Amino acid sequence: MAETSWSVALRALRGGAPGAAGAQGVGSGLQRAQAFMILATMLYRASHLAIGLVAVVQRHRDQPVQYAAVAAAVGLSVLVYGTALRRGWFTRRHVWADVVVCGCLLPFALWAWGGARESATLGWAMILGGSASAAVAVALDRVQVAAAVVLLAGTHVIGYQAVGASPAVVLGHLNSLLSSAVMAWVFWWYLRRQGRLLDDANARALTAEAHRARYEERLEHHRALHDTVLATLTTLAAGGIDANAPEVRERCAREAAYLRRLVQQTSDALPRRQIGTALEEAVRAAEGLRLKVTARYHALPHVPPEVATALADAVAEALNNVRRHAGTGHAYLTAAVSHEGHEEGHGADHDAGPGGGSGGGSCGTDTGPGGDGTGGGVVVTVVDRGRGLDPERYAPGFGLRRSVHDRMAEVGGRATVDGAPGEGVRVELRWPG
């Protein structure tokens, strides 16, 4: 079913588009100002038509010309304002037709054929000129506004003189005519100015949001490079591993392919990995740089892909920190569902590693890394038996701050780092936080 003119205008005032063609955006401030002025002037005309109908019913029941005049005024008003509502603004030729017919010809037609011989019987037609002047003031340019107002004022003077109206009546109606035009123009000027200010503010907000999105994208690229390529280059530069080792060459090839994907990546090309698979990729990458990782997974839940990616990236950086700073070649990874009560059942496994009895080997799993839990949160810990850290002097660097803490915060999780001198470091990642 097609929308009514009223619903179109009201939707525009609420922020939708009235369907107007133009340079402004859909639901812009200027379009809202236009929709308001259309409704305001239409209601003004409706009040004059109501006065005219009441006057005809009370005073001219036996004058068919009077009813025909009311019908003509109603029909022309529907044309003017109905078209304006559909298009989003007034059509100038329709506004001029309203001025000529309702504002000028109807009073003379009633005087000539409708029995209007005194100001009281002609007044209802004259006041239509007031609502016509309001539409003129907002729809036409200044020269045309002046011409239309002069034409309407001349009709008032000549028409009232023809029925012998007093100067007070003539001046009162002229004042109403001019006041309608002036007030409508002032309202339209103010609303149009406010609408443009709103559009400018919206444009600045959109520009700022675009800048922020570009900054976040660059930051994400920096973090990705820090966690992968830079970690590999740092290790090679330190000389701690053989650059020609097969596993190192394989990692370099993977990261070269990653760089190519990063350059070509679009916003809809985000990785869509399960949590277990993502964590295993982080473990294998660390093992490619000669870090032994003992990993255990316990009934991993299904989490959103962006959460799985954030956890895996945070784990990769935590393992990089173990390799670079802990002074040990062995790390322990535990990942489990964090349902209430579930963690208690796996409490010993959560502390796998130093004192946790993870068992030997590179990777031990209870359910496999694919993740077959039924839902809920997840907790991942990375523990080492290295030199540890002094909590009073600890300040997270770029890796922990950006790649661990910030990544977890962005997906609604949190990261905590705990350690003591000579007792290793424990990094705990939780989602939800």
- Assess contact for 61 and 69: CB atoms under 8 A: no
Shared domain check, 182 and 325: no
pLDDT: is 433 or 50 the higher one?
50
Residue 85: the pLDDT is 93
* Whether pLDDT at 82 is above 60: yes
Tell the residue number behind the tokens 């109403």, with chain if given. 176
Number of folded domains that form the chain: 3
- Single-letter amino acid code for the residue at 86: R
Is 76 inside any structural domain?
yes
Q: What's the CA gap between 331 and 286, in Å, rounded?
A: 10
Average pLDDT over residues 355-368: 41
- Report the pLDDT value the prediction gives residue 195, as an integer from 0 to 100: 87
In this prediction, residues 408-412 reach a mean pLDDT of 88
Q: What angle do CA 295, 275, 283 make, to 5 degrees?
A: 35
**Per-residue confidence (pLDDT) for residue 114, from 0 to 100:** 84
State the pLDDT at residue 78: 96
- Is the same domain home to 336 and 406? yes
**pLDDT of 350:** 38
Could you tell me the residue range of the domain that residue 415 belongs to?
Answer: 272-431
Same domain? 262 vs 310: no
Does position 380 have pLDDT exceeding 70, yes or no? yes
Q: Are residues 264 and 288 in the same domain?
A: no
- Residue 364 identity: G
Q: Are 186 and 302 found together in one domain? A: no
Give the tens place of pLDDT for each residue, 170-215.
999 899 999 999 999 999 999 999 988 888 888 888 878 877 777 7
Residues 265 and 276 in one domain: no
- 159 and 44, same domain (yes or no): yes
Exposed/middle/buried for residue 261 (C-beta within 10 Å: 0-12, 13-18, 19+)? exposed
> Could you tell me if 122 and 74 are in contact, meaning their C-beta atoms sit under 8 angstroms apart?
no
Q: Are residues 365 and 304 in the same domain?
A: yes
Question: What is d(CA 394, CA 387) in angstroms, rounded to the nearest whole number?
Answer: 13
Asked whether residue 223 is domain-assigned, the answer is no
Instruction: Please give the Cα distance from 312 to 100 (Å, whole number).
Output: 75
The residues pairing with 417 across neighbouring beta strands, listed in sequence order, are 427
Q: Calculate what percentage of the chain has a pLDDT beyond 90.
A: 32
Calculate the alpha carbon distances from 25 to 19, 207, 230, 278 in Å. Answer: 11, 15, 45, 43
**Which two structure tokens, joined as six digits, stand for 74?**
């109603």
Token digits for 29?
Answer: 């401030």
8 A C-beta contact, residue 277 and residue 302 = no
Q: How many CA atoms lie within 13 A of 24 on its CB side?
A: 26
Is 215 a domain residue? no
Q: Are residues 329 and 366 in the same domain?
A: yes
Question: Would you say residue 4 has pLDDT above 50?
Answer: no
Sign of the four-CA dihedral 233, 234, 237, 243: negative
List Cβ neighbours of 313 (8 Å cut-off, separation of 6 or more).
223, 224, 227, 282, 403, 407
Q: Which residue has the tokens 């991993």?
A: 300
- Pairing assessment for the beta strands 425-431 and 378-384 based on DSSP bridges: antiparallel
* 312 and 415, same domain (yes or no): yes
